[in-house]
């Protein structure tokens, strides 16, 4: 009888369930989307109960579509949207508020207050992350300061604070396990990446009870047992949990120092494995944990971008410039090569390396002849420019002379974008045949941890399509400098507005 592994990738837009056989081959996928709850301030929330229901439903769908014997499923893995923060009552098991999504900047005032109190440098030294509403701590602080039920649960000792992995593990184990893995913990701004513990001082600064945080667990350890809400005839171990970008890094096989990947999702995470010792760059990229497995920690340099794949969604859903996600390829190829329009997609501020939550999006450099094709091309190109910003800084911080980029996510199907990315980086870009790398990484971690997969076999099975640079260095430099000028213009405009 075959042995199977199931993982879920709980991402910003929806939840994917993935089914693998005993060799690590992906057999089936099922998707469930969830609501994006956005108010007039641009604050973004998700309904945690809806996400849990969708997780179970997606697993049910994948089992039904595959027709396998559910009794042959041996273990379960989770990858999840990171930084998205939520709180729930330990006694009732109910959320005290919606999940505050990683894109949401509602914690900005809290971060400004903490900066004024003089704690910003202390926070960055302990966490490797600049103080920002992007990360979980400020979001959790906002919930505690603004939601009465959260305050009451904290006072009674019944509050659970965590990221989406903790919520899913809690629900899937019937409330028996409250855990988080090291990769997710390292993105909260409550975790000390040197001591590898929840940090007492950080918890005091943000006003979050340390006892409300989950038990730290190696990414490939046992997180608990589940029958997936009765879908399986027996209990199986949850044996692999990773933040989605860390899952993609693992799924891409970036297991050695110097290897790099980019996930093109709603936003993007660019990661470089830097080995077992942290490098603190202080140049706009941050230091986090890749994971802790087999008792060993590996660190990463990382840059996070708020809007990459969601720029394509914006073109389609908000402004109606395209009908489907395939159309930008044709329009980008048809655009006037002489047009120098840039889009700086700061719809909710700019992430790395600028870390400016106060700026707004803008098209720059338009002329009378700029049309639809040129605007669409500028939007797609903005994805590559933002990623180039991060890759160049990582090369500088790590001393790497040559890089290759392994990529994943829906936008990697855009051949124009992948070629332009290769041109901007002046290096090869590797696009895997499989696109579900975050969920694949979680499944690999679970399957290896549970003894279902052979590590050498599963990683050797990945196949890639390679894009190599075609643009000359002089043209690349001209286009990239134009991008930097456009960003400076946006930053300067915001400064002038404040003055």
Q: Residue 200 above 70 pLDDT?
A: yes
Query: Could you tell me what percent of the chain has a pLDDT over 70?
Result: 99
Upstream peptide bond of 353 is cis (omega within 30 degrees of 0): yes
| Bridge partners (DSSP) listed for residue 100 | 45, 85
For residue 192, the SS3 value is: strand
User: Do you know the residue count of the chain?
Assistant: 499
Per-chain mean pLDDT for the chain: 93
Query: How much is the average pLDDT of 478-484?
Result: 97
pLDDT classification of 496: cutoffs 50, 70, 90: low
pLDDT over 70 at 291, yes or no: yes
| Cα 294 from Cα 308, distance rounded (Å) | 34
Choice between 397 and 81, residue whose per-residue pLDDT is larger = 81
Name the E strands within 335-457.
342-344, 362-364, 405-408, 429-432
Alpha-carbon distance 50 to 206, whole Å?
28
The pLDDT value recorded for residue 293 is 94
Segment 142-150 shows an average pLDDT of 97
- Per residue in 430-471, pLDDT tens? 999 887 889 999 999 999 999 999 888 888 877 889 999 999
What's the pLDDT score for residue 494? 65
Q: Average pLDDT of 398-402? A: 78
pLDDT given for residue 298 in this prediction: 96
CA 388, chain centre distance (Å):
17
Task: Give the per-residue pLDDT at 42.
Answer: 85
Handedness of CA 381, 385, 391, 395 (dihedral sign): positive
Inter-residue contact 299 to 290 (CB < 8 Å): yes
What's the confidence (pLDDT) of residue 190?
98
pLDDT for the residue numbered 17: 97
Q: How far is 441 from 297, CA to CA, in rounded Å? A: 17
Give strand ranges (E) for 283-384: 286-293, 296-305, 342-344, 362-364
Strand order in the sheet with 44-46: 37-38, 44-46, 99-100, 85-89, 159-163
The predicted-structure confidence for 333-342, as pLDDT tens digits, reads as follows 999 999 999 9
Task: List the domains of the chain with CATH numbers.
Answer: 4-243 (3.30.420.40)
Supply the pLDDT for residue 263. Answer: 84
Q: Which residues pair with 26 in a beta bridge?
A: 20
The whole-number pLDDT of residue 400 equals 77
Q: Please, what sign has the CA dihedral across residues 399, 404, 406, 411?
A: positive
**pLDDT of 142 strictly over 90:** yes
Instruction: From 203, 204, 185, 201, select the one nearest 193 (Cα to Cα).
Output: 185
pLDDT value, residue 403: 77
CA atoms of 386 and 24, how far apart (whole Å): 33
Percent of all residues in the chain with a pLDDT value above 90, rounded to a whole number: 76
The pTM of this model reads: 0.84
Can you give the pLDDT at residue 391?
92
8 A C-beta contact, residue 303 and residue 395: no
| pLDDT(499) > 60 | no
pLDDT tens sequence across 24-53: 999 999 999 999 999 988 899 999 999 999
51-108 per-position pLDDT tens digit: 999 999 999 999 999 999 999 999 999 999 999 999 999 999 999 999 999 989 899 9
């Amino acid at each position: 009888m075959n042995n199977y592994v199931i993982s879920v990738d709980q991402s910003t837009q929806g939840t994917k369930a993935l089914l693998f056989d005993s060799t690590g081959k992906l057999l089936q996928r099922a998707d469930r989307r969830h609501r994006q709850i956005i108010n007039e301030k641009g604050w973004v929330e998700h309904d945690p109960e809806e996400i849990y229901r969708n997780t179970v439903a997606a697993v049910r769908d994948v089992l039904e579509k595959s027709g396998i014997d559910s009794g042959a499923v041996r273990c379960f893995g989770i990858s999840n949207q990171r930084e998205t923060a939520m709180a729930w009552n330990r006694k009732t098991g109910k959320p005290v508020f919606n999940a505050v999504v990683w894109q949401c900047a509602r914690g900005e005032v809290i971060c400004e207050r903490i900066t004024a109190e003089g704690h910003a440098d202390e926070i960055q030294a302990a966490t490797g992350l600049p103080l920002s509403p992007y990360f979980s701590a400020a979001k959790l602080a906002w919930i505690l300061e603004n939601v009465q039920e959260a305050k009451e649960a904290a006072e009674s000792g019944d509050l659970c604070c965590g990221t989406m992995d903790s919520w899913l593990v809690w629900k899937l184990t019937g409330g028996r396990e409250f855990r988080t893995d090291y990769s997710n913990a390292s993105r909260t701004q409550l975790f000390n990446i040197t001591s590898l513990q929840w940090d007492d001082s950080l918890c005091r600064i943000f006003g979050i009870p340390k006892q409300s945080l989950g038990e730290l667990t190696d990414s490939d350890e046992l997180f608990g047992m589940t029958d997936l809400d009765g879908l399986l005839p027996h209990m199986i171990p949850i044996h692999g949990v990773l933040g989605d970008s860390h899952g993609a890094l693992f799924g891409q096989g970036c297991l050695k120092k110097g290897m790099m990947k980019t996930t093109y999702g709603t936003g993007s995470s660019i990661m470089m494995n830097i080995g077992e010792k942290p490098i603190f760059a202080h140049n706009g990229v941050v230091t986090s944990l890749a994971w802790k497995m087999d008792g060993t920690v590996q660190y990463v340099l990382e840059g996070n971008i708020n809007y990459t794949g969601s720029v394509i969604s914006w073109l389609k859903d908000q402004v109606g410039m395209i009908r489907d996600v395939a159309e930008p390829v044709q329009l980008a190829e048809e655009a006037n090569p002489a047009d120098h329009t840039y889009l700086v997609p700061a719809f909710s501020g700019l992430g790395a390396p600028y870390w400016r939550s106060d700026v707004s999006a803008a098209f720059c450099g338009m002329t009378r002849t700029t049309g639809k094709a040129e605007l669409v091309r500028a939007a797609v190109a903005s994805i590559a420019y933002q990623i180039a910003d991060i890759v160049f800084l990582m090369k500088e911080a790590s001393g790497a002379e040559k890089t290759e980029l392994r990529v994943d996510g829906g936008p990697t199907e855009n051949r124009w974008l992948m070629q332009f990315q290769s041109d901007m980086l002046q290096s090869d870009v590797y696009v895997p045949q499989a696109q579900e790398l975050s969920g694949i990484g979680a499944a690999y971690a679970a399957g290896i941890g549970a003894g279902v997969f052979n590590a050498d076999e599963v990683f050797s099975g990945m196949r890639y399509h390679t894009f190599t640079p075609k643009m000359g260095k002089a043209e690349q430099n001209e286009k990239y400098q134009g991008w930097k000028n456009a960003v400076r213009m946006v930053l300067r405009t915001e400064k002038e507005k404040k003055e």
